[in-house]
Amino acid sequence: MKSLKFYLALTLVAITSGVNCQFQASGSGKGDFAQLSLSTDLRPNTTNPVKVILDTNDGSQGITNNKGDITIGSNGLYLIFAAPQVGRLSGYKPGWVTCWLKLNGKDVTNSNVLLNLVNNQKDVIISQGAMRLNAGDKLNVMMGIERTGEGLGLEAIKPDNQPLVPGIIFTIVKIAD
């Protein structure tokens, strides 16, 4: 495995804060990354799995996004982070929201995270992992809810005089060939 000449934590902070950064990874697909987000709420009216539409490209290189269909540009090892902002509008019985990855139409093993919401709680849950991907692979972020009618789902929040809290922030970074 080739050594990397950057600190991953610093790189992720730079990406998420909009700072122009340069990756020093070697090999094909050098510097491939994407940061994508959802600018609106997503509150499904079904308990069946729902694809998360990533409607904002906050920055990318070598990875494309078409409404949540994420296409990998080059073979390699990737770090992936999905951070959904979950909430509910009504109800007092605990209810869960889940979020996981699909790769080429199949659920990714051990990628699911779950938060059981009580009352009108809001929180961020994090799914992260490292996986080998090939050029042309398609990733999707999926979500599910325990029941309908309570507004369970992903929630974009716009605080006064502050930037949007997206319904989800999705970051993928190629770290090695």
Looking at the DSSP bridge assignments, the partners of residue 98 are 114, 144
User: For residue 7, what are the CA distances in angstroms to 33, 63, 143?
Assistant: 15, 21, 31
Q: How many residues does the chain have?
A: 177
**pLDDT surpassing 50 at residue 124:** yes
Better pLDDT: 21 or 158 = 158
Amino acid type, 89: L
* CA 33/CA 38 separation, integer angstroms: 17
Nearest to 41 by CA among 162, 115, 150, 152: 152
Query: For residue 153, how many other CB atoms are within 10 A of its CB?
Result: 24
Judged by average pLDDT, the poorest of 20-24, 89-93, 167-171 is 20-24
Query: What per-residue confidence (pLDDT) applies to 30?
Result: 72
Is residue 3 a part of any domain in this protein? no
- Residue 142's domain comprises 8-176
Residue 66's pLDDT is 98
Compute the distance between CA of residue 34 and CA of residue 127 in angstroms, rounded to an integer: 16
Q: What is the CA radius of gyration of the chain?
A: 17
153 — pLDDT class (breaks 50, 70, 90) = very high
Number of folded domains in the chain?
Answer: 1
In a domain, 2, yes or no: no
Instruction: Calculate mean pLDDT across residues 89-106.
Output: 95
Asked whether residue 26 is assigned to any structural domain, the reply reads: yes
User: Could you tell me the CATH number of the domain that includes residue 33?
Assistant: 2.60.120.40
Kindly state whether residue 96 falls inside one of the protein's structural domains.
yes
Under a CB-based contact definition with an 8 Å cutoff, are residues 2 and 177 in contact? yes
Q: Is residue 1 in a domain? A: no
Residue pair 69/154 in contact by the 8 Å Cβ criterion = no
**pLDDT 10s digits, 4-35:** 333 333 334 444 445 444 444 444 567 899 99
Q: Is residue 37 part of a domain?
A: yes
Give the least confident one: 6-10, 61-65, 84-88, 96-100: 6-10
pLDDT at 157 over 60: yes
